[in-house]
Amino acid sequence: MKIWIDGELVDETDAKISVFDHGLLYGDGVFEGIRVYNGRIFELKAHIRRLYESAKAIRLDIPMSREELIKAVEKTADANAVSDGYIRLIITRGVGTLGINPLVCHDGRSIIIADNIQLYPEELYERGIKVISATTVRNHPLAVPPQIKSLNYLNNILAKLEALDNNVPEAVMYNHEGYVAEATADNVFIVKNSCIYTPPVQAGALEGITRGVVIKLAEEENLRVVEKNLTRFDLYTCDEFFLTGTAAEVISVVEIDGRAIGDGKPGPITKMLRKKFFKYAHGKKS
Ligand code: PMP
């Protein structure tokens, strides 16, 4: 596998960064996860926009233009002949001292990895997944703003551990006010009386690229999509529940905290949106 580091494609074994890089020492950096479908990089411009916004929010300069970065992503996908896969784009703060001071850091690394993706097994898409409510509260917006896709995922990792401890693959995270924020690596949607609801990003969610596409696809079907604060009660009593994300795409949730959603099977609106998303992703140029 060829890895892109700072303008060069190198062998995987030669792709190395310093142990003094603050990306490693402190999770000081930002990243993106991007899909490739049929040789086309999905929503690349939107991912690049979000990367630059994450970087700006943490005062990290990306040492190249958006156009240069787009070319680098395309070049890495080509070099690895990835036609259906996953691209990880990482920008680190670079080499500093053992103190946290980011202002002394230099040589921030830009890294691109193009690989295969591990999706949920097909049967989980057909049956739907079970989730739990995490007790770990989503980052307070005055701490690390949840809209930053930073290299520090510990908040979500702690919630993921709760899910795995309960033998389910995902957990819903609530914000400091008790409203639904998102899942550990996906956005949350519910359906009630044929209307779709999703928390506003201000409730503590990453502004998911898949979320944006799914909202657009639902509206094309003349479905109403409302962004509003959701409570645990709303999740317990909805007709349908699904998650969206780059890796998961659209996946149905059929149980939360031991309560079945609807009749305990993926609902019709979720199934329709999954199908529509699949068609859109496989047919669309970036
Ligand atoms: N929330 C979090 C915390 C995420 O890490 C992700 C990305 N996997 C998402 C939501 C979904 O965003 P996207 O659709 O852009 O992948």
Same domain assignment for residues 80 and 53: yes
C-beta 139 within 6 A of ligand 1: no
84 is written with which tokens?
């259906």
Residue 178 has pLDDT above 90, yes or no: yes
285 has a pLDDT exceeding 60: no
86 and 208 co-located in one domain: no
Q: Among all residues, which ones are annotated catalytic?
A: 149
- Asked if residue 104 has pLDDT above 90, the reply is yes
Q: DSSP per residue over 147-171, as a string?
A: TS-BS--HHHHHHHHHHHHTT-SEE
Whether residue 210 sits in one domain with residue 127:
yes
Question: Does residue 189 form part of some domain?
Answer: yes
Q: Where does a domain end: 115, 147, 173?
A: 115
In the chain, % of residues over pLDDT 70: 99
Q: Going by C-beta distance under 8 Å and a sequence separation of 6 or more, which residues neighbour residue 261?
A: 128, 238, 239, 240, 241, 253, 254, 255, 267
- Residue span of the structural domain in which 177 resides: 122-281
Average pLDDT over residues 8-29: 97
DSSP structure string for the chain? -EEEETTEEEEGGG----TTBHHHHH--EEEEEEEEETTEETTHHHHHHHHHHHHHHTT---SS-HHHHHHHHHHHHHHTT-SSEEEEEEEE--B--SS--GGG-B---EEEEEE---PPPHHHHHH-EEEEE-SSPP--TTSS-TTS-BS--HHHHHHHHHHHHTT-SEEEEE-TTS-EEEESSSEEEEEETTEEEE--GGGT----HHHHHHHHHHHHTT--EEE----HHHHHT-SEEEEEETTTEEEEEEEETTEEPTTSS--HHHHHHHHHHHHHHHH---
Confidence check: pLDDT of 133 > 70: yes
Task: Give the tens place of pLDDT for each residue, 222-245.
Answer: 999 999 999 999 999 999 999 999
pLDDT at 116: 84
pLDDT at 100 over 60: yes
What is the CATH classification number for the domain harbouring 189?
3.20.10.10
Q: Count other C-beta atoms under 10 Å from residue 43's C-beta.
A: 20
pLDDT tens by residue, 41-88: 999 999 999 999 999 999 999 989 999 999 999 999 999 999 899 999
Instruction: Please tell me the number of Cα atoms within 13 Å of 268 on its side-chain side.
Output: 6
Are 109 and 144 members of one domain?
no
Do 46 and 128 lie in a common domain? no
Q: For the segment 141-158, what is each residue's pLDDT rounded down to a tens digit? A: 999 999 999 999 999 999
Question: Based on the domain organization, do 269 and 130 belong to the same domain?
Answer: yes
Q: Quick check: CB of 170 below 6 Å from ligand 1?
A: no
CA of 208 to the centre of ligand 1 (A): 5
Domain count, the chain: 2
pLDDT exceeds cutoff 90 at 128? yes
Q: Judge contact between 89 and 56, C-beta under 8 A.
A: no
Q: Which of 115, 132, 150 is the last residue of a domain?
A: 115
What pLDDT shows up at residue 5? 96
Answer with the one of 83, 115, 147 that is the final residue of a domain.
Answer: 115
Q: pLDDT-based confidence at 284, cuts 50/70/90?
A: low
Whether residue 223 sits in one domain with residue 139: yes
Is 196 within the bounds of a domain? Answer: yes
Do 97 and 188 lie in a common domain? Answer: no
Statement to judge: residues 180 and 64 lie in one domain: no
Q: Mark whether 177 and 207 lie in a shared domain.
A: yes
Q: Is residue 128 part of a domain?
A: yes
Given a cut of 80, whether residue 119 has pLDDT beyond it is no
Distance 97 CA to ligand 1 centre (A): 31
- Asked if the structure places residue 49 within a domain, the reply is yes
Q: Determine, yes or no, domain membership for 38.
A: yes
Q: Examine the pLDDT at 95 and tell me if it is beyond 70.
A: yes
User: To test ligand 1's pocket by mutation, which of 246, 249, 280 has the most ligand atoms within 8 angstroms of CB?
Assistant: 246
Query: Could you tell me the pTM of the whole model?
Result: 0.96
Residue 286 in domain: no
Taking all residues of the chain, what is their mean pLDDT, rounded to a whole number? 96
pLDDT of residue 210: 98
Q: Within a domain: residue 136?
A: yes
Q: What is the pLDDT of residues 157-169, one digit of tens each?
A: 999 999 999 999 9
- The reply to whether ligand 1 has any atom less than 6 angstroms from the CB of 110 is no
Supply the CATH number for residue 89's domain.
3.30.470.10
Same domain, 110 and 6: yes
Determine the average pLDDT of the residues in 169-193.
Answer: 98
- CB 185 near ligand 1, within 6 Å: yes
Based on the domain organization, do 80 and 191 belong to the same domain?
Answer: no
Residue 179 located in a structural domain: yes
Ligand 1 nearest-atom number relative to CA 33: 16
Counting residues of the chain whose pLDDT is more than 90, the rounded percentage is 95
